[in-house]
Amino acid sequence: MKHKISKLIITLGILATLPACIEVKDKDEEGNVVIQTIEGDDLVVDEPLFLHEGQFLRQDAFQQIRTRSTSPQEYKIKLASLKMGPNGVIYTMGNTVRFDIHSLESMAGVIATFPEGSKAESGKGRSGGAIIIQTANAQGILRIKLIGETGGQGDPGQSPTAAMKGATGATGKNGGNACGVGGIGGSVGGNFNVSGTVGGNGGKGQQGFVGGKGYAGGSSGTLSLTVTNSVNFKPEVEIKPGKGGAGGLGGEGGEGGDGGPGGKKPCAKDKYWPSGAKGPQGDRGPTGPSGSDGVSETACFYVLQNPMCDTKSFSYSK
């Protein structure tokens, strides 16, 4: 059963959320995609709105959502008219959104896949999805931004292994083993006054493993804009795939080697000089490489049955 909202007006300070009229079509036996339908007569937008689980949320309400949807949905928004004010923005949030509008009027309003600078918390950046707009009448400047999410940062380098520990320091020299002639220090190989030494310092640990490669940025998303009649209509299309994520932090360096045991003190039974100092930890491994950028997908504008398609940003006026 379809539900309708007779009039949808969103202006700054009026509503915290827009209660959406949603029709959810059950999946058929073949498991086809569920389509959610939002219907209304008039929609006036003059502030940022975020499409989330069948509702248009204002920015403050959207920021309170802790769990963001990661599975793109398919929506159909059917309106008698859509008026975009100069501060109006509709974010489709990576979903596939079909706008069926009789009359479209825009004063430099924006329809965008994601906000600028959107970044995946982890993993691959999300694709911008698809924006499909069909309108009988259009006028004014409409900015459409196809933006992919920046990929998440790569994983940290793995922990160091035991084999990456630094070398053990050298054993200290023993003191003389006899006293008498020549004072302190006995004869070692015929030498006198040999007092012995502390152990050598441990060696530096090996450098850590390289960090993981950053995750790929999301593709820009696609656009299909069809206008039957246009009056001073100027669409401006920006195509901006997501950048690859930063490389992961290098892993920690290997443990420093143990200090070598001290040499035996002269003229003393079972007394030794101190062991050497533990070696320094190895350097952190190199940062991983950046992830690959997302793909610039196709945007098409159909006016008077003349198509204009590109994978680069463009504008049109007539």
Distance CA 97, CA 74 (A): 6
Start-to-end Cα distance in the chain: 41
pLDDT tens figures, 160-205: 999 999 999 999 888 776 665 444 443 343 344 467 888 899 999 9
The token duo for 89 is 């923005």
Cα dihedral 135→32→150→128 (10° resolution) = -10
pLDDT tens figures, 62-100: 888 866 666 888 999 999 999 999 999 999 999 999 999
> Strand 89-91 vs strand 299-303: parallel, antiparallel, or unpaired?
unpaired
The token duo for 274 is 């101190």
In which element (H, E) is residue 208 found?
Answer: none
Weakest-pLDDT range from 59-68, 123-132, 158-167, 289-298: 59-68
Mean pLDDT confidence for 205-225: 96
Predicted local confidence at residue 22, as pLDDT: 39
